[in-house]
Amino acid sequence: MQKTIPKRKLDYEQMFKATIERDKEFDGIFYVGVLSTKIYCLPSCKARKPLKKNIIFFETRKNAIFKGFRGCKRCRAGYFPDESPYWFDSVCTLLKNEVERKLTEKDLAQVASVNISTIRRYFKIRFQLTPLAFHRKLRLQYARKLIETGEKYRSVSSRCGFRSSSGFRKAFTKEFGLSPGQVQRVQ
């Protein structure tokens, strides 16, 4: 059963108690800033709790960012509730539009203007895949679509950015449980 949060403004002691108890019901209601590190967290964050004198509370994430705080990487306060980072759309657009070539991590980092480890970490959390594995899935789905529309799988492999037809066949079979030839024969 969800706890009802009072309509009135929470005072410092109520917010501090919710933070110490790591109460998830207050996530998004307020954010906890740590003055000594300039990091803001969700009240439920599992990180070690700071000294009371080092805690400041913010009503919104924007207020925390305006004051120079950055989101906690442990509780992902910068992405709560499930907001994508500012660079995510440009990376996804690149991944979806470039299914006919193999991208590199350098390509992704240039488009996003962030470190590739940040992109990799976010993709692993959101999709349980690296960005390049996610891109390979998109390329394989595109390849299957081409094969199902009548194209020969040997030409599809190079068209979708695979260097060898044997590597393509292996990846395709692993992804779909059927070889490209079997999919082609069904058509």
- Domains of the chain, by residue range, sit at 12-75, 88-132, 135-186
CA separation for the pair 112, 33 (Å, rounded): 27
| Residues 162/102, Cβ–Cβ less than 8 Å | yes
CATH code for the domain defined by 135-186:
1.10.10.60
Among the four given CATH numbers 3.40.109.10, 1.10.10.10, 1.10.3720.10, 3.40.10.10, the one describing domain 12-75: 3.40.10.10
Query: What is the reported pTM?
Result: 0.60
What is the per-residue pLDDT for 79?
77
Q: Point out which residues pair with 40 in neighbouring strands.
A: 33, 71
| Residues 40/61, Cβ–Cβ less than 8 Å | yes
For the chain (length 187 residues), average pLDDT per consecutive 10?
51 91 89 95 91 93 91 85 82 94 94 91 85 96 93 88 91 93 80
* 124-127 long-range contacts, CB within 8 A, separation 24+: 125/76
What is the per-residue pLDDT for 5?
45
Give the pair of three-digit tokens for residue 135.
């891109």
What is the per-residue pLDDT for 140?
95
Q: Point out which residues pair with 19 in neighbouring strands.
A: none
The pairing of beta strand 70-71 with beta strand 39-41? parallel
What is the per-residue pLDDT for 187?
64
What is the per-residue pLDDT for 135?
96
